């Protein structure tokens, strides 16, 4: 694998460090595998040579001539990847892309819309050229998940985006000055360009609030805001305690001269200015930007603040300046975390794997390759969204490179949050096109084949199964529940279409096996599995005996209103008899009205809590894990509670609830029509007496059937 690297970054800064560090290691691992092209002679090109990277400079002053030189270099070198960094390099890579077979990829080191903040002429020239180029290159690498998310939100195809984190070689240590002398000032430092994005003025204003402490501020960097910032220190009366060092060549020396390292930018990715300070074991305070929160655990190994928040920054600086022991402890903890998770070797390993993934994708281009997933997604129901999480986890386990298309009622939200391509559920022509490109269509979990909500819903899902099969895709009905299908015409239609157009069906409980048989489905392979949620690694209720809550997940359903007083009386009993206070858990965004109606009937002596709407299955299981037992009229309320290993009480409004509880060996349930205070009291007593939780390990094993089946489909 050979890589042509195009770089137009400055002679200093994080991008330079990233490129030279990464390709220096890559060149040592695979000598001769990469050629660096810099578009100017200077510090960057010389540093690359000093790192052992074969480096050429192309800067004739004539872009067309430079392009011809690049074309010859690319043709002669037989490169597989052209990897660009920086606006000019991206633009040249875009032009070169038309003349070579190599795949183009760029690393996005910052928010490209802010790169030329305060420089309007540069923004409408270099900035515009860069924005055009980014849209036309084959792939993009975001430095941190936050950068990748930003690119997705701005409409870049999710399957063209990769993530990498800056890495650093922690050893050897940077020697740190001995500041144990009580009379020595505590020195706060920042290394940054003096421009608006770095927001140095916020640090200066926060520093001014520490006038009662023996502290100094050192600023390493230069830029267009130098005069304004110098004037600000004079205006605030702190000029005698602030040093402007200009550009500093010996950065190890700078970090060894300070006690607290600060970053206060309004936009960053994964800044080397922090990593270099970590190498010196410094206490660190940073604005909450980019991927910084993945490195710093606020209050545990450093402090975070919202960009521009002067008071919170000042408070953090005061805590460190007043406590040498805290500085030392946090500095050591942060250094240990970075050494473990953000090493230089890990960064290079990730970059190498990205190249391999790009080449794998290239080999499969033009073939039928992809997976379409359809279900009740993008509708504000955490249960359905968790099914999607389980399915996507299974897909990525089977083939991390495969393009995924999800049908969603909120396609932009799904695309941004899941980093998959998404189309509107009812975009018929888009689905017809996608079905002709993918090799597997997943009818995605849940109770899609039923007519209790409406016949139209059933007809829609049956239609997608038929269209996908006719367009050449294999049809996989994944971890689903079947029925009830009540109307005779619907039963005949469902049986005929599933029998003729589905290839394989995995079921989340055995009651659905009976329903499929009754529908006359015999041709597809049918396997017992479990709900896709059980394929996720969800938090368990770690110390259930000490938990003091009963999780409650109710839903609006015919007949539910009449039972609200009974639910309230039962919760009063759970509190008086067992000290369990209700925790109302919204599985669907529409569930809050029922919960509030029950809560309104509780006496004031009963404490109650309302969980916030949940966005991930991990959040849902974590909320459930706070309880000792759970009762629910929502199937996925029971599923999340089961995943958290809680004893369950089911309210059966639909056969799927009974089928699920029977399947997992939790028979403590009540038919909705039979709900009364007496029946609920009996169920609560039973749950508290037995405290027998579902066998979560068995459910994980059963769910693996879904994953193994998908792998088989993709391999055939």
pLDDT for the residue numbered 177: 56
Question: Counting Cβ atoms within 10 Å, is residue 190 exposed (0-12), middle (13-18) or buried (19+)?
Answer: buried
Whether 133 shows a pLDDT value over 90: the answer reads yes
Residue 666 contacts residue 646 (beta carbons within 8 Å):
no
Calculate what percentage of the chain has a pLDDT beyond 90.
74
Name the token pair of 144. Answer: 């941190």
**Section 34-46 average pLDDT:** 91
pLDDT per position as a tens digit, 419-466:
999 999 999 999 999 999 999 999 988 899 999 889 999 999 999 999
* Averaged confidence pLDDT in the chain: 92
Q: Where are the alpha helices (DSSP H) in 405-551?
A: 411-418, 428-435, 455-470, 488-501, 511-519
For 382-428, how does the pLDDT look when each residue is reduced to its tens digit (9 = 90+)? Answer: 999 999 999 999 999 999 999 999 999 999 999 999 999 999 999 99
Q: 187 — phi, psi (to 5°)? A: -105, 125
Q: Where are the alpha helices (DSSP H) in 78-144?
A: 87-97, 120-122, 128-136
Q: What is the DSSP letter of 2?
A: -
Work out the burial of residue 41: count CB atoms within 10 Å of its CB; fewer than 13 is exposed, 13-18 middle, 19 or more buried.
exposed
d(CA 129, CA 151): 17
Q: What's the pLDDT at 176?
A: 61
* Per-residue confidence (pLDDT) for residue 412, from 0 to 100: 94
pLDDT above 60 for 178: no
Residue-wise pLDDT tens digits, 674-712:
999 999 999 999 999 987 778 888 999 999 999 999 999
**Euclidean distance between CA atoms 220 and 57, whole angstroms:** 29
- pLDDT tens, position by position, 263-273: 999 988 788 88
The whole-number average pLDDT for the span 245-266 is 92
- Selected residue with higher pLDDT from 446 and 491: 491
- pLDDT value for 362: 87
Which whole number is the average pLDDT over 361-389?
Answer: 91
Residues linked to residue 6 through DSSP beta bridges, in sequence order: 37, 84
Q: What is the pLDDT of residue 61?
A: 83
Q: How far apart are CA 191 and CA 217, in angstroms?
A: 11
Domains in the chain, CATH or no CATH each: 3-164 (3.40.50.2000), 186-341 (3.40.50.2000), 366-528 (3.40.50.11930), 544-698 (3.40.50.2000)
DSSP 614-679: --SHHHHHHHHTT-SEEEESSHHHHHHHHHTT--EEEEESSHHHHHHHHHTT---EEEGGG--HHH
How confident is the model at residue 625, as a pLDDT? Answer: 86
Give the pLDDT of residue 252: 87
Share of the chain above pLDDT 70, in %: 97
The pLDDT tens digits of the residues spanning 88-112 come to 999 999 999 989 989 999 999 888 8
- Half-sphere exposure of residue 250: CA atoms within 13 angstroms, side-chain side: 5
Tell me the per-residue pLDDT of 11-39, one tens digit each, with 9 for 90 and over.
677 788 889 999 999 989 999 889 999 99
The residue with greater pLDDT, 291 or 45, is 45
Whether 180 shows a pLDDT value over 60: the answer reads no
Cis-peptide into 172, omega within 30 deg: yes
Would you state the pLDDT for residue 545?
A: 52
Q: What is the pLDDT of residue 678?
A: 97
What is the pLDDT at residue 364? 79
Instruction: Give the confidence band of 240 by pLDDT, cuts at 50, 70, 90.
Output: very high
The pLDDT of residue 398: 95
pLDDT at 341: 87
Reported as a pLDDT band with limits 50, 70 and 90, residue 86 is very high
Chain segment 525-584, per-residue pLDDT in tens:
999 999 999 999 887 655 455 689 999 999 989 999 999 999 999 999 999 999 999 999
Q: Residue 611: beta bridge partners?
A: none
The residue assigned the tokens 């997976």 is: 371
Q: Which residue has the higher pLDDT, 342 or 206?
A: 206
Q: What is the pLDDT of residue 42?
A: 87
């Amino acid at each position: 694998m050979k890589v042509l690297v195009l770089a137009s970054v400055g002679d200093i800064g994080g991008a330079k460090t990233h490129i030279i560090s990464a390709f220096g290691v890559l060149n040592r691992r695979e000598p001769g595998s990469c050629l660096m092209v810099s578009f100017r002679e200077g510090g960057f090109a010389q540093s690359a040579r000093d790192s052992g990277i074969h480096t050429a400079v192309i800067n004739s002053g004539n872009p067309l001539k430079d392009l011809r030189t690049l074309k010859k270099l690319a043709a002669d070198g037989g490169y597989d990847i052209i990897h660009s960094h920086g606006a000019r390099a991206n633009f040249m890579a875009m032009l070169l892309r038309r003349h070579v077979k190599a795949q183009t990829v760029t690393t996005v080191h910052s928010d490209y819309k802010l790169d030329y903040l305060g420089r309007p002429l540069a923004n409408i020239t270099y900035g515009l050229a860069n924005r055009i180029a980014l849209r036309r290159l084959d792939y993009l690498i975001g430095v941190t998940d936050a950068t990748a998310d930003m690119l997705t939100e701005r409409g870049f195809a999710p399957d063209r985006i990769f993530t990498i984190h800056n890495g650093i070689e922690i050893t050897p240590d940077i020697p740190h000055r001995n500041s144990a002398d009580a009379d020595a000032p505590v020195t706060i430092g920042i290394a940054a360009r003096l421009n608006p994005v770095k927001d140095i003025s916020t640090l200066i204003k926060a520093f001014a609030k520490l006038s009662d402490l023996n502290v100094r501020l050192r600023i390493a960097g230069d830029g267009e805001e130098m005069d304004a910032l110098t004037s600000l220190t004079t205006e605030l009366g702190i000029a005698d305690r602030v040093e402007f060092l200009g550009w500093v060549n010996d950065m190890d020396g700078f970090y060894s001269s300070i006690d607290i390292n600060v970053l206060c930018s309004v936009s960053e990715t994964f800044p080397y200015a922090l990593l270099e300070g970590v190498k010196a074991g410094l206490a660190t305070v940073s604005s909450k930007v980019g991927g910084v929160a993945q490195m710093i655990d606020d209050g545990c190994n450093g402090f975070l603040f919202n960009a521009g928040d002067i008071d919170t920054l000042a408070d953090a600086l005061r805590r460190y300046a007043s406590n040498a022991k805290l500085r030392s402890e946090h500095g050591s903890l942060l250094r240990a975390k970075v050494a473990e998770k953000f090493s230089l070797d890990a960064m290079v390993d990730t970059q190498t794997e990205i190249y391999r993934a790009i080449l794998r994708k290239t080999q499969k281009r033009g073939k039928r390759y992809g997976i379409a997933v359809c279900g009740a997604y993008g509708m504000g129901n955490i249960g359905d969204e968790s099914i999607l999480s389980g399915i996507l986890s299974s897909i990525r386990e089977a083939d991390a490179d495969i393009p995924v298309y999800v049908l969603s009622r909120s396609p932009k939200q799904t695309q941004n949050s899941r980093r998959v391509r998404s189309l509107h559920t009812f975009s018929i022509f888009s689905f017809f096109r996608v079905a002709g490109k993918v090799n597997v269509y997943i009818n995605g979990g849940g109770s899609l084949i039923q007519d209790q909500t409406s016949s139209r819903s059933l007809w829609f899902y049956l239609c997608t199964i038929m269209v996908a099969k006719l367009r050449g895709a294999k049809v996989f009905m994944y971890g689903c529940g079947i029925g009830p299908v009540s109307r005779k015409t619907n039963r005949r239609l469902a049986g005929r279409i599933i029998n003729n157009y589905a290839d394989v069906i995995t079921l989340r409980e055995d009651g659905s096996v009976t329903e499929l048989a009754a529908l006359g489905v015999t041709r597809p392979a049918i396997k017992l599995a479990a709900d896709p949620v059980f394929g996720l690694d969800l938090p368990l209720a770690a110390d259930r005996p000490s938990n003091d809550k009963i999780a409650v997940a109710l839903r609006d359903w015919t007949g539910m209103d009449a039972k609200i007083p009974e639910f309230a009386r039962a919760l009063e009993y759970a509190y008086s008899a067992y000290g369990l206070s209700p925790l109302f858990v919204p599985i669907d965004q529409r569930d809050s009205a029922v919960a509030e109606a029950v809560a309104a009937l509780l006496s004031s002596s009963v404490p109650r809590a309302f969980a916030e709407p949940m966005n991930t299955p991990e959040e849902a299981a974590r909320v459930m894990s706070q309880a000792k037992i759970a009762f629910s009229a929502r199937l996925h309320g029971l599923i999340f509670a089961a995943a958290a290993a809680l004893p369950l009480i089911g309210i059966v409004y639909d056969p799927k609830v009974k089928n699920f509880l029977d399947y997992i060996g939790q028979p403590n349930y009540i038919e909705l029509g039979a709900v009364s205070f007496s029946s609920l009291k009996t169920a609560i007593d039973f749950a508290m007496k037995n405290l027998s939780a579902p066998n979560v390990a068995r459910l994980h094993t059963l769910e693996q059937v879904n994953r193994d089946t998908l792998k088989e489909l993709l391999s055939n």
